[in-house]
Amino acid sequence: MTKVERGKLKKQLQQMAYRVNDDVAVSSKEALKAQGSEASGNLSNVPLHLADLATDQFEQEVALSLLESKTQTLQQISEALDRVDEDRYGICEGCQKRIPLRRLEAVPFTRYCRECAEEREKEAASG
């Protein structure tokens, strides 16, 4: 990988980190808002119907799940930026071979080549 390609991928990672960080902030607000916080004309913000409570709880669980996923993605991006700085970026952590540029362009925070990633997925699914 050339210096220009590495620089382009680093910039892509930084832009992704910025976007995902914004998404995390929005998801945090959504996930942590109090249940039943929608104003419905009642004196209280608490829903009066059990179905409303269940819907609020489901929406909060979905928001928490999205927040967790985005936080993990942000961590992976941060680790990839560390690998760039340490000159280890683009080397598969499974087989130690170079990760093809096309894969890095598609998934810039990947730690594994396609073959090693598929093997890890098979192992996770079976075990």
pLDDT in 10s for each residue of the chain, 127 residues: 889 999 999 999 999 999 999 888 887 777 777 554 444 444 555 556 777 777 778 888 888 888 899 999 999 999 999 999 999 999 999 999 999 999 999 999 999 999 999 999 999 999 7
How large is the C-alpha radius of gyration of the chain? Answer: 20
DSSP count for the chain of H helices, then E strands:
4, 0
What is the structure's pLDDT at 27? 77
Domain map (residue ranges) of the chain: 3-90
What is the structure's pLDDT at 29? 78
User: Cα(71)–Cα(64) distance, rounded to whole angstroms?
Assistant: 10
What is the structure's pLDDT at 92? 97
What is the structure's pLDDT at 34? 53
CB 100 within 8 Å of CB 71: no
CA distances from 97 to 4, 55, 124 (A): 20, 48, 22
